[in-house]
Amino acid sequence: MSATRITVNGDSPYDVVVGTGVLAELATLLRPGVRTVAVIRPETLPEIAGPVGAALSEAGYEVTDLPVPDGEQAKTVEVAAGLWSALGRHGVTRSDAVVGVGGGATTDLAGFVAGTWLRGIQVVLVPTTLLAMVDAAVGGKNGIDTPEGKNLVGTFLPPAGVLCELETLASMPRRDYVAGLAEIIKGGFIADPEILTLIEADPEAATRPDGPHTRELIERKIRVKADVVGADLREAGLREILNYGHTLAHAIEREEHYGIRHGEAVAIGMVYAAELSRLAGRADLVDRTRSILTAVGLPTTYQAGAWPHLRDHMRLDKKNRGAKQRFVVLDALARPGRLEGPSEELLEAAYKEICA
């Protein structure tokens, strides 16, 4: 076993355990007094969730298996309500726990259900995709979707711990793995440029779970997020920088009815944010953004005729304050800033720069 522990500070500190062969560490992340553990996992993931349940059973816990639909289809109030009913039937109390196993959609859902059941019980997350490991499972933001947008209903509940078993990445489809790289690259632009340097040195290696810098890239991105959310759990200020590229990304996801991978939408959104930064007289990192995303096989353009619909979707972005639209931009590499109330002309001009 080879494990790294990264502590996320704040009012409720917790560890993110990263490594290979680390499943035995799962029980150490649960707080004392737990009797029943409800394992929420995608119905398509029995081969990965099985060992999680077995490890918990061997540690003496009573395990309840709760399969849910895969992907964003799970993040609905109907699925959440079904899980609340299941927790009630199985007698899950305030001293018990939820363990969420799967990709970002599943960990979002598991955190939301844990945060709302009995007004909050502990949750441990076991992300199984690159995106979930470096982003969704770390930070304590949990949510479900509504017809009006993504993650508009949610909670802030820091997990009791996060366990990143790197061996699960080997079975990921290549396109899904590459999509997860978008969040790592985002971390390089907003906080840790060494991430960009490592990827640019060998882009092809960065697209492989067995690449020479895979673990370092994952740990660097987790540390970026840990530093930010440890200082600002509830997105009162600093945490907004993690939304770099996400305003347009979430709009694209909604426009595509969540048929596009989150990381692919974020990649397009980062190019848009870079164009906004340039046109607003801030940093000009457009070429580097396009270059690194293209090198790993991520998209950098979107369809020209979609702007009116995307603009409507963007008006529901969580960073907005009243009628004022707010965007995260870059004042320099690793120096994010905010662009408040940009003109419609500026927003459309930036979009024209990314049109296919």
62 labelled ligand-binding = no
H helix runs in the chain, sequence order: 26-29, 46-58, 77-89, 104-116, 130-131, 174-190, 193-201, 203-206, 214-231, 246-255, 262-279, 286-296, 307-314, 344-352
116 labelled ligand-binding = no
257 labelled ligand-binding = no
150 labelled ligand-binding = yes
Tokens standing for 154? 């949610």
Q: Identity (one letter) of the amino acid at 296?
A: V
Give the span between the Cα atoms of 353 and 271, in whole angstroms.
Answer: 9
Cβ-defined contacts of 284-289 (< 8 Å, 24+): 285/189, 285/330, 285/333, 286/353, 288/196, 289/189
Q: Identity (one letter) of the amino acid at 250?
A: H
Q: What angle do CA 241, 355, 249 make, to 5 degrees?
A: 30
90 labelled ligand-binding = no
25 labelled ligand-binding = no
93 labelled ligand-binding = no
Question: In 3-state terms, what secondary structure has residue 350?
Answer: helix
264 labelled ligand-binding = no
107 labelled ligand-binding = yes
75 labelled ligand-binding = yes
Nearest partner of 139 among 79, 183, 96, judged by Cα: 183
36 labelled ligand-binding = no
101 forms beta bridges with 126
Nearest partner of 117 among 139, 154, 92, 144, judged by Cα: 92
Give the span between the Cα atoms of 230 and 14, in whole angstroms.
Answer: 10
303 labelled ligand-binding = no
20 labelled ligand-binding = no
47 labelled ligand-binding = no
* Residues assigned a catalytic role: 119, 141, 183, 225, 235, 239, 243, 246, 250, 262
Give the span between the Cα atoms of 326 and 240, in whole angstroms.
Answer: 10
Q: Are 110 and 160 in contact (CB under 8 A)?
A: no
168 labelled ligand-binding = no
183 labelled ligand-binding = yes
Binding residues: 70-75, 104-108, 128-129, 141, 150, 183, 246, 262
Binding residues for NAD(+): 70-75, 104-108, 128-129, 141, 150
Binding residues for Zn(2+): 183, 246, 262
